[in-house]
Structure formats: structure tokens, C-alpha cells
Amino acid sequence: MKQKSSPVRHAARFMLGAVSMAALLMAAPVRAQEPVQPIAGPKVTSPAKVELGKKLWFDPRLSRSGFISCNSCHNLSMGGSDNLKTSIGDKWQKGPINSPTVLNSSLNLAQFWDGRAKDLKEQAGGPIANPGEMAFTHGLAVDMLRSIPQYVAEFKKVFGHDKLTIDEVTAAIAAFEETLVTPNARFDKWLKGDKKAINAQELRGYQLFKSSGCVACHNGPNLGGNSFQKMGLVEPYKTDNPAEGRSAVTGNDAERFNFKVPTLRNVELTYPYFHDGAADTLSQAVDTMGRLQLGKKFTGQENADIVAFLKTLTGDQPKIAMPILPPSSDKTKRPQPFE
């Protein structure tokens, strides 16, 4: 029934409108009380440094063999991981631990599963010199870069001098890695007030994720990455993997089997799961975590709901234009992968 307009009705409508608007605006503050926060897009403060870091990220000449780059085990086409239980290193060596995703890793309190590197810059030097991974040395990596005029020029442009040190190499790689964030996950849209961004099952999964206690460790903008926790809290975790976790770093035996809580961002892409890569599927991982960390056996429906929620955490993947690497010069030492 159409009604005639009157000044009073106008005023009433205006107020109702104002209330609705306020309700909408309130949505954000309400969500802000959630134990998970949306993540922001990348902020690039030094584009030349990031671009140099991207080249280094993709450059297999930072390995002894000339075959393995950072991207080999943290593949940006595959959620920043290699989707293997443990990684393949120089001469096909079996890696000791599952490669964690590089995506959103700048949000972590420390790097590596045991947190032995305080930041991305410190981390970046590790695999290059690890005999089981890229199996090079920092000195040889720097020699290689110094032999390539285009790299020399780029380092000079970024760092303002001709030294070209391993510190600059890792700083540039870290600057690139800091751009590898994945905003706009459907769950983040929901957190920001878009109620339709996730469906009823996904919301049920999130509520169960909170009420069951998963969120006690997987919280914050990265749903993890901000604490070390014992793997196998209620029930011991059985594995052949010899990694000791945090105690190997601190020497404190009480921290044995404490690992950095992995992020759940993009977890649909970063299988297999756990530090030993033992869980092939999200369903298995949720089941194991429920039993071992929470003493809880999720029903099939509960498991499916949590898995559905976890799949809402896939954000916009970084858009990477493959770099064209500066060619080696006649002076660059050629890799001998089979020696």
C-alpha cells in the first residue's frame, strides 16, 4: 500500500535509515572483537629493493647446483609451499621438516618451525648455506652475484654502494617476502561486515573452531604464527620425524616438541600438514588436532564444518610477474650439480 509522504514520515525514515547505517557501521567494531583479524594488503616502501629481492627469490644460482631457488620449496604457484611431506634438497636429499608457507610469514613472531631465526632476513640466509638444502655458501653466493654486471648495478641502485654483501642479499629477499600477503579471503570479508561472504556451514565451522578451542593457538591476523605450542598436548604425537622443536633452540627440555603454531591462512593450498607433513588432507589434520590438542573427537559433520571454514581463509594470492634473471657473465663460475 502506497502511502503519502509527510514531514513526520520523512523524519522517521531518515532516522531509521540512520539507525540502519549505524548498524552497518557497527558491524566492523563487532567483528573487531573476534579472535581473528583481517590482514592488510602489501605495502611496498622500496619497489627497487622488492624487485631485486624477487630476482634473488627465483634465482637458482644461489644454490650449489644452479637448480634450486627459494621458489623451489616455497612455490608461489602452490600457496608458497612445495606440497611435499618434506622438501627435496641438493642431490635429492630428503629434507628434515615440512616447508612452511612463505605467504604472510612476515606476520610470524619468528621464522622456521622452531623459531630459530628472529625475522625473514635472518631466515633467508639459512637455506642458501644449509648443506641439505641449497648447499651453497654465503661467500660463493656473493661471488656469483658480483660476477654479474646487472646484479652489481641493481644492488648499487638499491643500497647506494658497491659492496654487495650477504646482508644485502637477505635484506632484499626479506623485502620481497614482506609483500607476499594474501588479503581479501572470504573470511576477512565476513570479518569486515559482509555477512554473505561465508555460508551457514562455514560460519558453523568458525563457531566450532572457536568453541572447541582451536582458536586458543590459531588466532590473530595469521590464525597462528604468534606462539610456540606443544605438538601433542593431550595425547602424544607419534612421528618418525626427529625434529625436537623449540628445545633445540633454547636448550630447555621443557620446550621439547614445542613448535611455532602454523598459520591457517591459505591452508587449503599448503597441504600436507604438520611439521612432518604427515596429514595429507585438512580432514585428517582437523581430526588429529582435535584429538591430540583438545582431547576431542569431532563428528563427521563437525569435521566437515571446520574444513569448510578453513577453506574460507584462502586470500588473494600475490600476483607475480616472473622476473627475467640477469645472465651470467663469462666470469661467473658455472654450477656443477653432479660433482
Q: Given 51, 133, 178, 302, which residue is catalytic?
A: 133
* # chain residues binding its own copies, by CB under 8 A: 43
Q: Which stretch binds its own copies (CB under 8 A): 81-89, 134-142, 205-213, 225-233?
A: 81-89
168 is catalytic: no
Under rule CB under 8 A, residue 58 binds its own copies: yes
The x, y and z cell numbers of residue 64, run together, are 650449489
Does the annotation flag 15 for ligand binding?
no
CB of 96 to its own copies, least distance (A): 12
Residue 271 makes contact with its own copies by CB under 8 A: yes
Q: Exactly one of 37, 46, 78, 250 binds its own copies (CB under 8 A); which one?
A: 78
Distance CA 327, CA 141 (A): 15
- Side-chain half-sphere exposure of 269, counting CA atoms within 13 A: 24
Q: Has 275 been labeled as part of a binding site?
A: no
Q: Which is nearer to its own copies, 118 or 331 (CB)?
A: 331
Report residue 243 as a C-alpha cell. 625434529
Using the rule CB under 8 A, which residue among 83, 147, 201, 241 binds its own copies?
83
Q: List the one residue from 38, 50, 52, 82 that touches its own copies (CB under 8 A).
A: 82
CA dihedral 108, 113, 118, 121 (to 10 degrees): -80
Is 212:296 a contact under the CB 8 Å cutoff?
yes
How far is it, in rounded angstroms, from Cα 245 to Cα 235?
Answer: 17
Helix (H, G, I), strand (E, B) or coil at 320: coil
From CA 169, how far away is CA 139, in angstroms rounded?
11
Which of residues 184, 241, 250, 283 is near its own copies by CB under 8 A?
Answer: 283
CA angle 319, 325, 326 (to 5 degrees): 145
Q: What is d(CA 190, CA 27) in angstroms, rounded to the nearest whole number?
A: 10
Quick check: 300 binds its own copies (CB under 8 A)?
no
Q: Which of 60, 205, 220, 290 forms a contact with its own copies (CB under 8 A)? A: 60
Distances (CA, A) of 126 to 133, 135, 193, 224: 9, 10, 41, 22
List the Cα angle 228/229/233 in 5-degree steps: 170
Does the annotation flag 138 for ligand binding?
no
Binds its own copies (CB under 8 A): choice among 53, 66, 205, 225: 66
DSSP string, 215-240: GGTS-TTTTSSS-EEESSSSSPPP-S
Of 43-51, 56-64, 106-114, 224-232, the segment contacting its own copies by CB under 8 A is 56-64
Which residue in 77, 72, 76 sits closest to 90, CA to CA?
Answer: 72
Single-letter amino acid, residue 325? L
- Residue 252 within binding range of its own copies, rule CB under 8 A: no
Candidates 243, 248, 304, 325; binder of its own copies (CB under 8 A) is 325
218 among annotated binding-site residues: yes
Catalytic residues: 133
Please give the residue ranges that form the binding site for its own copies (CB under 8 A): 58-61, 65-67, 72, 75-79, 82-85, 88, 91-92, 94, 268-269, 271-272, 280-281, 283, 317, 319-325, 327-328, 330, 334-335, 337-338
Q: Which residues are annotated as a binding site?
A: 70, 73-74, 214, 217-218, 289
